[in-house]
Amino acid sequence: MNKGKIVSIHSFRGGTGKSNTTANLAAQVAMAGKRVGVVDTDIQSPGIHVLFGLDETKMGKTMNDFLHGKATIREIGFLIGDHTGNVAGRSKLAGKNLWLFPSSISGREISQILKEGIDFNRLNEGLQTTITEFDLDYLFIDTHPGLNEETLLSIATSDILVIILRPDNQDLQGTSVTIDIARSLDVPNLMLMVNKALPKYDAVELKKEIEAQFNAPVAGVLPLSFDMAENASSDLFSLRFPDHEWSKGLRAVAEAILAVK
Partner 1 sequence: MSDDILSQLKKTSMFSGLSDDALSVLAEKAATRKLAKDDVLMRKGEAGDSLFLIHKGWVKIVTVDSKGDELIINRCGPGEAIGEMALLDRGPRSATVIALEPAEVLELKQDVFQQVLDQRPDVSLSIIRSYSNRLRFSTTYIERAIDWTQRIAEGDYSFIDHTQPGLKNTASDDDKATQLLSAFFKMVKSVKEREDGLKLQLEKLTFEIDQVRRKQEFEEITSTEFYSKLKEQAKALRQKRAQG
Residues that bind partner 1 (CB under 8 A): 1-2, 119-121, 124, 147, 149, 152-153, 156-157, 159, 167-169, 172-173, 176-177, 180-181, 184-186, 188, 198, 200-201, 205-206, 209-210, 213
Instruction: Give CB contacts under 8 A, 24+ apart, made by 131-135.
Output: 131/3, 131/4, 131/6, 131/37, 132/3, 132/4, 133/73, 133/74, 134/35, 134/37, 134/73, 134/77, 134/99, 135/3, 135/4, 135/35
Q: Which is nearer to partner 1, 70 or 183 (CB)?
A: 183
Q: By 3-state DSSP, what share of the chain in percent is helix, strand and coil, each rounded to 5?
A: 45, 20, 35
Give the nearest distance from C-beta 162 to partner 1 in angstroms. Answer: 18
Q: Which is nearer to partner 1, 149 or 245 (CB)?
A: 149
Taking the complex as a whole, the smallest distance from the CB of residue 222 to partner 1 amounts, in Å, to: 16
In whole angstroms, the minimum distance from the beta carbon of 184 to partner 1 comes to 6
Residue number, 56 or 149, with CB nearest to partner 1: 149
CB of 163 to partner 1, least distance (A): 14
Q: Which is nearer to partner 1, 197 or 236 (CB)?
A: 197
Torsion, Cα 54 253 6 69, to 10 degrees, reads -10
